[in-house]
Amino acid sequence: MPDDEHRGLEASGITVRFGGVTAVDGAGLEAPPGTVTALIGPNGAGKTTFFDVVTGLRRPAGGTVHFEGADLTGRAPHERARRGIARTFQRPEVFGALTVRENVQVAAEIHAATRDVPGRTRADRWRRRRAARRQTGEAADALLERLGIAQYAQCRAGTVPAGVARLVELARALATGPRLLLLDEPSAGLPVPASRSLECLLRDLAADGLAVLLVEHDMDQVMGVCDVLYVLDSGRVIASGPPVEVRSNPRVREAYLGAARSPRSPERGTGPAASAGGRHRLLGGLGGR
Ligand SMILES: Nc1ncnc2c1ncn2[C@@H]1O[C@H](COP(=O)(O)OP(=O)(O)OP(=O)(O)O)[C@@H](O)[C@H]1O
Ligand SMILES: [Mg+2]
């Protein structure tokens, strides 16, 4: 049994229901530090809902979430964030009126404030605040540089292209110094070269010791970047393991091929997200290599 800090995320038996729809149906996965773990599945499979449970935004009807050995089931999102869990959203959520740099610096400042040691005198406090501001500004600049979006630093975040906003959100997540990073379709809207750079960045983050959990639709990108792949279908994990094995798993192929042949059952995935388009996009990826 590894030390607690080497256990990363362990989620098991997660179940979420929306009225009569079971969005996540007893799903579980592990995302250990130092690895990129990917979660794929067609539109409406329950991927984002699963992330919502891990980050505490949604309370599951069943199941548990452990991180570094601690039981976080039922804990508030801010407590999970304090323990080192950060995420990006499927639709980027940035402060549109702030500049790109300010967006990242604010996150770095909030993170720094959680570790702040108050000064004894007023002058001392002022000096510390100035030094902290300089450090968080430098940290923000370094992150913007690392993500290749330094040229947007002074642009209002509400005005940058969607792909850039995604990277701003990622920079903000990284500014909190996470140990578990959840990314919900981070490459959507990115041109191919930026998407490849992101792939390298995720490998680097894993090499730094982060546990990275990635939801993607682009199967080829997932194949290139992840160590372990989980496939979610109708809220259930139907396969997991090294990507090459999962890709050739007959159950996975049948799930996608079967889904492409017959429409989704009426009681599940009736929302706008549950189009056959997602399945075809995944199918293309599955057949790609
Ligand atoms: N707030 C909600 N209220 C009711 N049903 C919901 C809600 N959020 C999600 N669902 C339903 O739960 C199921 C899972 O949705 P979810 O968004 O988690 O899927 P997903 O795998 O992230 O899909 P996508 O690939 O389109 O992002 C879908 O059937 C969806 O319509
Ligand atoms: Mg989603």
pLDDT tens-digit readout, 136-183: 999 999 999 999 999 999 999 999 998 899 999 999 999 999 999 999
Supply the pTM of this predicted model. 0.85
Q: Does the C-beta of 47 come closer than 6 Å to ligand 1?
A: yes
Rounded to an integer, what distance in angstroms lies between the CA atom of residue 160 and that of residue 150?
12
Where are the alpha helices (H) located in the chain, listed in sequence order?
Answer: 47-55, 77-82, 100-114, 122-146, 162-175, 192-207, 219-225, 243-247, 250-261, 276-287
Within 10 A of 157 (CB to CB), how many other CB atoms are there?
Answer: 23
Q: Is 70 helix (H, G, I), strand (E, B) or coil?
A: strand
Q: Does the C-beta of 269 come closer than 6 Å to ligand 1?
A: yes
User: Per-residue pLDDT tens for 243-266?
Assistant: 999 988 888 877 665 555 544 443
Residue with the nearest Cα to atom 29 of ligand 1? 269
Find out whether 8 and 213 touch, Cβ atoms under 8 Å. Answer: no
| Sign of the alpha-carbon torsion through 188, 256, 31, 208 | negative
Percent of the chain surpassing pLDDT 90: 62
Would you give the DSSP letter of residue 46? S
Rounded to an integer, what distance in angstroms lies between the CA atom of residue 20 and that of residue 64?
22
Q: Does the C-beta of 49 come closer than 6 Å to ligand 1?
A: yes
Closest by Cα among 270, 234, 275 to 23: 234
- In this prediction, residue 275 carries a pLDDT of 36
> How far does residue 228's CA lie from ligand 1's centre (Å)?
23
Residue with the nearest Cα to atom 4 of ligand 1? 18
Q: Does the C-beta of 8 come closer than 6 Å to ligand 1?
A: no
Residue with the nearest Cα to atom 24 of ligand 1? 43
Rounded to an integer, what distance in angstroms lies between the CA atom of residue 224 and that of residue 2?
27
- In this prediction, residue 284 carries a pLDDT of 36
Q: From the alpha carbon of 278, which atom of ligand 1 is closest?
A: 25
Q: Which of 47, 52, 264 to mutate to test the pocket of ligand 1 (most atoms within 8 A of CB)?
A: 47
> How far does residue 52's CA lie from ligand 2's centre (Å)?
10
